[in-house]
Structures are given as structure tokens and as C-alpha cells.
Structure 1
């Protein structure tokens, strides 16, 4: 087999061997003072210098002062109230006694790590109307430390560098192609003098990419585009990746580039010093429904994949596609970790990945060779995976655009595991995964057309929204769960599992003290025995925790820190299921614990349940049908499935505006609340559409009021 044929064969299987050696990249000088590559790689026990602690992103700390024997003495050392009452998803970093964290709306704070004294604060002043293009709340997953600077990606698409001592702006760079379809919510990574960052926006009209910027100046050094552009323009503009883009273009159909194509790199980025590669996960192809924009029946490379590029130049090296033909929003953006394991009797340097699609993958970190995959959660979108190639056999019923019928997928778009970081302990050999069991219905929209604003998924959401039916809601709630799953990546099997009341629980931290820490959606921060999963300690956080904890030492004393604050896409979209783990509210705080800590939180405000008191329904069946269709497409992503909000954004069944046509028009069409993030939808909707949505909301409110009156 000659080299050309071999490369084509590897492409067909979804993994490519090492490409030609890349050309030398632009000269970038890494920092020699402050936080350096050597420091991140060495990962001194007392500090936490990058998102996953070190370049392996295993989130394992060698600290062991806090262990099963001492955990009972763990208490609150200090806390800091935050001024951003949205979802809090960041992992704090600690260097030289200073704790750095981002919060919602891309704000950055620096604290004395021992006392909690605030040292400085930075607000990038993200316009609140940015929420209209942010699929999943105004969240931010963390900062990067490098040299003498702190880096944050802002929701409106900037990469910002701050002086680490003062918080003053060093430079700011618009990192996204435009500020209409793109956002940034992920944590930057730093290596080899570069700051690495991607973007969100795949449900809009974004073209996924990973970009590298000079740490000192903000100058862009390279950019790898996940999705190829228009073939008629040629691929010379892709530079060292021209051949990779030309190969990918053959796997797409239609005019995919006109909607961007998706494939956004909105979270997982890992630098591997051993191979000098950057590994990253990519989002799903767009629209979700392949028939909506005729993107064809090909694999749509390099979406829903793990991709590796040369760290210095961004040149393509290999990829492995986990979900070809992705039509279920199975992003591969879940965190990737590196490890050295004995696989099949041979020591291998591997990448471990548990993405949304429910399979746990083991890949060779240097070549992308598929080494194995097993389902770690319930899945019905495949009938199995080829044990040699890793190619999934797609369940014919899962191709909903072909059947014309609804398909209830397990997992659904929320994922068997999403962005919530997993951790690994070399002591136990186990990976600790925040897992979900959440089914999602999919139905292709007939005669779908793109719009100037809002989601571009090609789905028909109204017919599959949660009905006002007590039995259906009860069944859906019973089937919606979560767990803390300990997974053996060598045996590819569960070691133990801790069931949770609901999904969307926080990321995990493993320590040499034999512990696993995790917050949950029910408002607890918990420590478990890493070997058995036994519950050893808990703290009532007063709000749901979705972020991952970290740990550090100051003056020989170990601390554990976690951001608390309920929110994110589950709370926004899940409707009646959003509070499955129990009624929670957003009380955004940074919580820091140590042995002997005796701090106390102030009493939380009492939970109150708003009483439905809607106006009488006076619309027509045609208006309700039209309004339901429009609500599902344009409104449900922020205000919840079937008009039931999770608590973070307003529940429109309770809104006073639904009783007044002029008020509804002023909000939906005229943009009266743009300053609060509710922008005008005049680009897509007319006044008659706003009136139809109003009648739908009134109808839904009256339906649920009737259920309440019957004791539902």
C-alpha cells in the first residue's frame, strides 16, 4: 500500500497517522519568569497552575493532608460572595499564594489564597445582549496563568491579558471572526509561548477553529479551522493545513460553509509535552438535522472529533471522529486527559475521553490510533462500535431526518458527560466521571429555513416539548438521573457508581489523600472514598454546584476550593426536569475549605414558589400552534422547554407581559429589555408572531394552572 492510499484509508476510518513534518512556525519566546512551561509540567504539589492542574489534565493532586482520617475536621475557611448571579463553571488557579478565578460574564478576581482578602477585580464589561448568541448562559470556565499575566476569554469573543499582580489590562484581542455568531466560554491554555483558545457558537452560524496567540503581544500565530471553506475558493489560504481541509471537504455535502458548519472548540484543549501536540475536541456539525441544509450523508470532518495539531504551527497531525454524521449534538468537547497505561500488555501513552455520546474512548496520544471504546452510560444511537476502527454502527431509527419520526435518544444533547471535568487517580487507576442519564427527543423540521437570529438546528421542537400531562412528566423525571461514576480505563468497566437524584452535577477532583471531591446539583459539596465511593463528608452549599474543585497549599496548610452557583444550559433548557435534584437557587460564591475551618455561611433566603395566575386564554388554535413553533425555535433555549423555566431566567408563564399585546411586542420586537439580554427578534419575527407567542404562553400557563389545581 503506497503512502497516498494509506492516508486515504486512515481518513476513512476516522484516524490519521502522523502527517508530514510541519514547517517551522513563527518565532515565539516563552516566558522565563512567572509561570513557565516547566512549572506547569512539573506541577509542584502546592500550586494549581492550569485548568486541569498540569498538562495531563488529570486533575489529580499529590496533596494528602486531607484524607479519610482527617476529613471530618474539614470546615469552611473563607468564602467570597460574587456579583454575577449566573452559572459558575470555572476552576480557580493558585500561584504564589494568590487564588485567581473567573466568574460569569467573564469577570476575573484575585484573592489572598489563605485569607480570602480580595486583591483585585477585573470586569471586561461584556454587553448583556451577548446572551442572545450564547447557547448556555453567561458562563466562563476559567483563566490561564502564564508569565506575569492572567488570561481570560470573554463571552463577546475577546482574549484578554491582565497583569497578574494588579489586574490591569495588558492587551485585548478580538479572537472570534465576528461578534454575531461567536462566543467564548472556555478556559484558555498556555504552552510554548502561546495562548490557545477556541470559541462557541455552533448552534448559530459559526465555523469552528482553534487559535494560538503570542502570550506577550496577543498577535495571532496560527489558526486551525475545523470545517473546510468553499471548495471553489481553493484551500491555499489554509496554509500548512490546505491538504487536510481539501480532504475534509470531500466528506461534506451541500453548501455547508454558508452556515459556518459548526465544529466549535468551546472547551477541551490539552497540550502534550511528550508529543509536542495540541489535542482538542470539536463540536457537532450544523445544522443538527443533516437534511435541513443538505449537508449530505458524509462524516462532516473534522466535527465531533478529537483532533491533534503541531503545537508550534497548528498543522494537522491526526484526528479520530467519535460521532460521524452527528445529528444529536454529541459534541466531543468533554475534557480530554493524558495518561500512561498498560493496554493489551503494552505500555501506551494515551488520550482518555468520555464525550457526550456515551462511549469511553482510549486513543494513542501520538498517532490517534483507536485502542478501544465501551459505553459508560445507556446509549441507543448505535448498535455497536467496530472494535478495530472505532466506527459506530448507527441505529437506523436514530436518523430521524430519514424516518420522519421522533427519535428519543439516550444520551441526548445534554450528553452522558458534558463539559464538567473528570479526574483520575494513579493510586486507584480509576477515572471519576460526572455522568448523566438524560433522554432527548429529536424531530426533523419540514421545509426548515435559516433565520437571521437564534438557533439554526433544523429541528421541530414544538411537537416534542413536554406536555401538560402528569403521567408523562413523572415518567420523564424518573428516567432522568445522574451519577458519580468510577471507570477503569484499562478494563473498560465500571468500578463503582454513586447514584444522584438528578443530572448535571459538578466536576471532580482526585487527591493522594484517597479522596474524590464533587459538588452536586442538589446543593452539596461532598468527599468520597476514591477506592469505594463511600460518602465521607459533605457541606451544604445552598446552591447547585456545577464547577470542578481544586486544591492547593499555603504555608503547609491544604485548602480545597470550589465555585458554587447553579446555572448553565441544563437550568435554562430542561424545563420541568431542571429541578430534578431538588429546588435550588443561584447563590454565587467561592467556597474555600481547610482542616479546622470554622466559617459559617449566612442563612439563605427562603425558597418561594410563584403562584400561576395567568390571564384568560382568548387566542385561537392556529395562534397557539404558530406560537408554540416559534417559542420552541427562538425562546426555549433561554426560557425552558414548554415555557417552564429552570429558575435562572424569567419563567414567562408568570410574566405580566403575557397579558398585554403591546407590552409583548415592545419586548420581543422593539427590544425594550435589550439591556438585560433580551434583544429584539425583529430580524426574524413580526408583530403577529410576538402575539402568537403570547397566546401560546397564556395557553401553557393555564394548562399548568389546571394541573396545580388538580394537585399535580
Structure 2
């Protein structure tokens, strides 16, 4: 696959006119099947299907020949619609699923009847510490207990039959901007959980808790702390030698906020580690260094948390290139030899095949267009960087992948029969450049990159070019030969996780509000179902009474949808979040959509001077864009500030933005982060945006 290298900075129109085209050509012969297939045939009782996280079902009742008979068996309204990312679990005929604000539902897996629901009553003001929407990715099951994390940093056990809370422990310092969005994993009677919050100034770690009592058994920090405080172990002391400056004052980052996998034979737990804090390494660790264990896969002993090995995908990362993306364990025949491997397609755009016993790199190739590195050196295992891409202290650099990554959190799937990995990939360019006015503030969005560079262009021609360059696709990847086999282009960059089955099918939801089935061998689109709202969660499959079911949760949201959903609209509008379950011969229907019209009030006249508006835009970009949208153009998932009645006066906005009048509804207080003077500028910018008509110019149809 050809690498593409861009100069340090080009105009958006020039860049995006031909930005990183990626063609797979004719479909080659599929690779050789793998050697071993770890499976659970009837239930889906672990997050990734099994500890190997393959997200492959051996069920094969549903096939390309009868897929046209697949219909909706039942659907359950979750009562919310924002950012449903959960993988359901199915145990003993019960399906467990989570919704926004960590609500847990137990349903009869045959009928959809509600058995119980549990609301952990999370502190919704913690939405201020969530980089990427008020989401969570599901629960874990162990010995009659449902284990779940919460956005305010707790881990809870719930009785799987009754929904009664059994224990509730705090896993973080709640005075700091830690959150939990990932699903716990269960290993040897231990619930393993990490956390998020790197951009806000925290130090990452992963912890193990006894599933029966909630007692913490061990904790492994992913980055070193202040050397004056001493190091927790020799591993942290060694890692500290790869850092410079006073990184601990910025937290350091390295949060393990999502992916894990477990090999029972080797007794190794694999943890994906996130980005640095701030992103800009020239601030975080002046003088460079690998900054272990940022952007790494780390292998630990699950009973003790002891370090065994690591592989760092992006040494000294400075681009938000997390290695928290989905990891898959498999056995592949490579060069005539059976190898136990771990596979990952992290944000940085390279697909890695690694020996999971030793951490040895076996192969790597870019699965999306990449311009920050030319290749991965197989002798050193390190990427060969393009000099201009390391932007700290240099000119801004237009890069692909950007911080959304070539692959984000949405799980991929591995089919042992075809030998292919099915990856939901993105192409989202981004301009990185030094924030000349950067001042670290815990609890704020600390990237060290100029936020103005990340804002989409308002020139219409440039915006159209950017829009054309932002892509999403379902990619079938041959991990043995490190090359694409087939791909399907989507209308949006932000689409759902993936399931593959022994029936020869691949299922994926998308931003156009459809669950789609494709042929696993060539990507032919065979079937779809309109879900009424976008699907970002991954499907699962299970069997009851000899019938195969497909289940998926719908609910449009996540960071891309919030920031850019108003400017890059898909066929999905905000709608009802549901759990939908399908089987052959079923013919249920979703309730009809209710048409609603929103009356947009006339905003106050824009009277502020240009300097005040410009200051307000900077405040907005740092504090508000991640929820309310670039250029104050909302996705519709969250109230559009341009039509807010609070714009009438500073005092009205102060009651919400500073005094926290709406924290119970998820609108956090920015007291200590936004001053009253800042609020005046912020209000002026929002009023200006409400009057500039930019949405009508940029929101180019659906």
C-alpha cells in the first residue's frame, strides 16, 4: 500500500481535492484459515464473545441464502437516544444492556420483556470530564453477578437475577477528572477496569477487584508518577527513564479506557494504553523520549498485575494516537509456522500482528492512508516518522490519521473461516500546531494544539473539499499478507462496530440508521433494516430454542457525532435508543417516527466587536465544541446553543454555565474555568454564530 506524505501545511481545498485515495482493486483469493477457534456457541457472555475478543459467532443458521427472511423479533426502548455504545451480553436466556448514564437493563432474550432495571444514579456533572459523550460500552458477567463501571469512577456488582446492588466501590480519586466508559473484563474471579480522562490531566492505571467483595487486589499504573514520591515498582522506575521534564504535573495520561483481552493458556492479560497528556509532547516531555507506556499494548499477569512485556505502537506519541482500540487473539499460520498472535488496528493507521507470548512484532502495514510515518521498521519495531509530522515547536502539520484515528473504539471482528479482520475505518484529516497561549489547567481540555486549527473552514469551497475527504468504510483485511481484500464505502466516517458469523455474514450498523448484512467473502450488501437512528454499537449473536438471533443497540452519538454531526449530517437524526433483536421469519415493526418541529427563536442582535467575538470563539472551542458542535452547529443530540433562551443576558447564562443550574441534566458547571468576563465573550460569540447563517451555507444536504 502506497504511503502518502504531505508538506507541513496546505490549504484545505488543495489537500482534500485528492486526499489519500485508497483503492483495493480486485478481490484477491482469501488467506488460509486459522488454526484454532475459541468459541462460545450459544451465549454471548463476554464482551468480545470470548476472552479472545474475536467478535465471531459460530452460529450459522442465518446465511446469505436466507438473510432476506431476517426480521425484527422485538425491540426495547431504552428511554434515551444519545450515544448508545454498549455490547449486550446474553446469559441463561437473559440479555443485559446498558444505556446513557450507565443505566442497566435485564430483558428476556426471547421476548424482550423487562425483568429489571438498575440506575446507579451517576453524578451527571461528570459529563464535563468526558471527552467523547456520556457513553459506556457495557457490562461484564461473573458467577451470577453483573459488573459495571460508571462515568463517575465507580465499579458496581448487581445480582443478575434481581437487579439488587451487591457492592459499590470507588476506583478513582473523584476530585480529579477521571471517568469510566469501558466495559469491565472478568479474569480468574477478578473484575478488571481502567479509566479515562487523559486530556483533562490524569495519570492512567488499570485495577483488579474481587468479584465477590469488591476488594481491590492490585493496580498497575501505565505511566510513572513524580519521582520524588518514589515508584510503585521497578517497571515504573524503568518507564520514568523514557520521560523528560516534569510530566507528572500534567498527569501524563496513558489511560486504559477500553480494550483488553485474555489468554488463559499463557495466563496473560492484554491492556491497551491511551494517549499522552497533553497531546503535545514538547510540553509534556520536553526533549522527547518514548514516554512508556503510552500508546502501548501491555501484557500483565492477571492475578498480580505484574508486568510481562509491552509493545509500543507510537513511541513518544504526540497525536492522540491511542492503542486502546480493539485487540483480537488468534492463531495464524505465518511463513508456514503456527503463531499465537494478538492483532490491533490502533488509531495511528497501522495494522499490527504481534506474538502474544513475547511481544515480538511479526508484521505491520498501514490499513488506511498515513502521512506521519513511512513504514514500521521490522528490525526495531518502531515507526519511521516523517520529520515534519512531529509538530511540537514546528509549523502546523496537516495529518492523516487525525485524533479520531484510522480506527476508533468501534470493535472490529475476526472470522477464522475467511481469515479476515473486518475493521470499521475512518479517514479524518486534522491540523496539529502549537498552542502559543497554552496554560495547563486540570479539568480542562489540555491538548497543547491550537484549537483554531481544528475548526472546519468557513470558506464554502474549502469546506466542500474537506467534506469530500472525510470518509468511513468497512474494510476486510488479510492479517497474514497485510493487505485489503474488499471494502464498502459509507456515507459518514462514524459507523458501528462489527460482528462476523460462521454463516458467511458480516453485520454492521451505520450512521444512516441501518443495520446491514454483507457477504463475508466479498462484501456484497445482502440485507438492511432501518433503525430510525444511527447505530454505533456492535451487534452480537446468540441461540435460544434452536433459533439464531442477532441483537444490536441503536442510539446515535459519540465524539464525531457531537463535534461534527451538524456539519456532516448522515441519514440519521436523533431518535429513540433501542435494543433491537432479529431472527428468521420475524415481522415485528418499530413504532412510527413522530414528526416534531422545533421553533427557532430569534436570537439577540450581534453587537459585540470582532475582538470580543474572537475571544469568545477561543473559549467555546476549548470548552464547548466537544458537545455542542464546531461553529456552534449542533448535531441535534444536545440543545443547540444558538437558539437558547439563555442568550438574553449574561446573568441567565451564568446560572447554567458557572453556577451549575442544570448539572442534574448533564450540563456541567464551568466554575473556575470560565470567568464572568469570559462568559461575556462566549455569549457574544454564540450570538454572532446564531446570526451568521453559516449552517445554511455549510450544511450541504444529507
Question: Structure 1-normalised TM-score?
Answer: 0.91
CA distance in 2, matches of 1:410, 1:614: 38
1:451 — aligned with what? 441
Shift of 1:578: 4.1
The within-5 A match list for 1:338-417 is 338-403=329-394, 405-417=395-407
Aligned to 2:658: 669
Aligned length: 665
* C-alpha distance after superposition, 1:252-274 (max 9, x if no partner): 11111122211000000111112
In 1, distance between residues paired with 2:429 and 2:571?
19
Q: Does the residue aligned with 2:120 lie in a helix, a strand or coil?
A: coil
Instruction: Tell me, in whole angstroms, the C-alpha distance in 1 between the residues paired with 2:74 and 2:694.
Output: 43
**Match for residue 136 of structure 2 among 137, 140, 156:** 140
Deviations 1:418-471 (A, max 9, x none): 110111111100000001111122221114111243211122212541233211
CA shift, 1:275, in A, is 1.0
| 1:290 lines up with 2:281 in the alignment | yes
Superposed displacement of residue 388, structure 1: 2.2
Q: Distance in 1 between matches of 2:172 and 2:583?
A: 40
Report if the CA contact (8 A) 1:370-1:388 is conserved. Answer: no
* One of 445, 463, 467 as aligned partner of 2:457: 467
3-state DSSP of counterpart to 1:363: strand
Instruction: Give the Å deviation of 1:206.
Output: 1.4
The answer to whether residue 544 in structure 2 is matched with residue 518 in structure 1 is no
Given the alignment, which residue of 307, 313, 317 partners 1:322?
313
2:244 counterpart (245, 253, 262): 253
Give, in angstroms, the shift of residue 86 of structure 1.
Answer: 1.5
Is structure 2 residue 681 aligned with structure 1 residue 685? Answer: no
Cα distance in structure 1, aligned partners of 2:451 and 2:92: 50
Cα distance in structure 1, aligned partners of 2:94 and 2:666: 33
**Secondary structure in 2 aligned to 1:252?**
coil
Q: Secondary structure at the match of 2:693?
A: helix
User: What are the within-5 Å matches in structure 2 for residues 610-621 of structure 1?
Assistant: 613-621=602-610
Offset from partner CA, 1:351-373 (integer Å, 9 cap, x none) = 00001111000000011001111
CA distance 1:510–1:583, shift in 2 (3 Å): closer
| Greater RCO (CA < 8 Å, at least 6 residues apart) | 2
- Asked whether the 8 Å contact 1:380–1:395 carries over to 2, the reply is yes
Q: How does 1:399-548 map to 2 (within 5 A)?
A: 399-403=390-394, 405-548=395-538
Report the counterpart of residue 23 of structure 1 in structure 2: none
Name the counterpart of 1:186: 182
- The alpha carbon displacement at 1:573 in A equals 1.8
Q: Is the 8 A contact 2:124 2:668 kept in 1?
A: no
Aligned counterpart, 1:214: 210
What residue is the counterpart of 1:641 in the other structure?
A: 630
Secondary structure class of the residue paired with 1:360:
strand
Which position in structure 2 is the counterpart of 1:25?
A: none
Deviation at 1:657, TM superposition (A): 2.1
2:452 counterpart SS class: coil
**Aligned mates of 1:530, 1:464 — CA distance in 2:** 37
CA displacement, residues 551-575 of structure 1 (integer Å, 9 cap, x when unaligned): 1111111110000000111112225
Is contact 1:612-1:705 (8 Å) kept?
Answer: no
Q: Is the 8 A contact 1:525 1:539 kept in 2?
A: yes
Contact 2:475 2:486 in 1 (8 A): yes
After superposition, the Cα gap between the structure-2 partners of 1:295 and 1:159, relative to the gap in structure 1 and judged at 3 Å, is farther
Is this contact kept in 1: 2:412–2:498, CA < 8 A? yes
Q: Would the aligned equivalents of 1:157 and 1:179 in 2 still touch at CA under 8 Å?
A: no
Q: How does 1:190-201 map to 2 (within 5 A)?
A: 190-201=186-197
Which of 155, 164, 178 pairs up with 1:168? Answer: 164
Q: Secondary structure at the match of 2:116?
A: strand
User: Aligned partners of 2:46 and 2:593: how far apart in 1?
Assistant: 33
Q: C-alpha offsets along residues 164-199 of structure 1, whole Å, 9 cap, x if unaligned?
A: 110101111111233531111101111111111101
Q: Secondary structure at the match of 1:448?
A: coil
> Is 2:618 aligned against 1:655?
no
> Is the contact made by 2:460 and 2:697 (CA closer than 8 Å) also made in structure 1?
no
Q: Counterpart of 2:6?
A: none
CA deviations over 1:66-108 (Å, ceiling 9, x no partner): 0111111100000000122311001111111111111111111
Contact 2:567 / 2:695 at 8 angstroms: preserved in 1? no
SS at the partner of 1:400? coil
Give the superposed CA RMSD: 1.8
* CA deviation map 1:283-313 (0-9, x unaligned): 0011011233455411110011111011111
Change (3 A) 1:601 1:179: farther
Say which SS state the counterpart of residue 212 (structure 1) adopts.
strand
* 2:259 equivalent in structure 1: 268
Q: 1:87·1:586 contact (CA, 8 Å) conserved in 2?
A: no
CA-to-aligned-CA distance 1:332-353 (integer Å, 9 cap, x gap): 1111000000122221000000
1:348/1:567 CA distance change after superposition, 3 Å: same
My pick for the range that moved more, 313-322 or 567-576, is: 567-576
Q: Tell me what 1:569 maps to.
A: 559
- CA distance in structure 2 between the aligned counterparts of 1:482 and 1:622, rounded to whole angstroms: 38
Of stretches 447-456 and 84-93 in structure 1, the one that deviates more from structure 2 is 447-456
Contact 1:85-1:588 at 8 Å conserved across structures? yes
Cα deviation, residue 648, structure 1: 1.2
Q: Residue 9 of structure 1 aligns with which residue?
A: none
Task: Label 1:472 to 1:651 Cα distance change in 2 as closer, same or farther (>3 A).
Answer: farther
1:130-171 Cα distance to aligned partner (Å, 9 max, x none): 101111111110111111111000111111001111010111
Task: Give the structure 2 partner of residue 97 of structure 1.
Answer: 93
Gaps of 5+ in 1: 1-40
Q: Which residue of 2 aligns with 1:279?
A: 270
- 1 CA distance for matches of 2:50 and 2:526? 27
Separation of aligned partners in 1, 2:41 and 2:242: 46
- Residues 469 and 311 of structure 1: CA distance in aligned 2, closer, same or farther (over 3 Å): same
User: Structure 2-normalised TM-score?
Assistant: 0.92
Paired residues of 1:323 and 1:392 also in contact (CA < 8 A): yes
Match of 2:547 among 554, 557, 562: 557
Structure 1 residues 472 and 407: alpha-carbon distance in aligned structure 2, compared to 1, 3 A threshold: same
Assess, with a 3 A threshold, how the Cα gap between structure 1 residues 495 and 711 changes in structure 2: closer, same or farther.
closer
In the alignment, structure 1 residue 114 sits paired with structure 2 residue 95: no
Q: What are the superposed Cα offsets for residues 357-412 of structure 1, whole Å, 9 maximum, x if unpaired? A: 11000000011001111000011111222122221122222222221x32222111
Stretch moving more, 439-448 or 345-354: 439-448
Distance of aligned partners of 1:575 and 1:76 in 2 relative to their CA distance in 1, 3 Å threshold: closer
Q: Deviations over 1:502-552 (max 9, x none)?
A: 111101111010000110011000100000100111000010000000011
* Structure 2 stretches lacking a partner, 5+ long: 1-36
Q: Would you say the 8 A contact 1:156–1:179 is kept in 2?
A: no
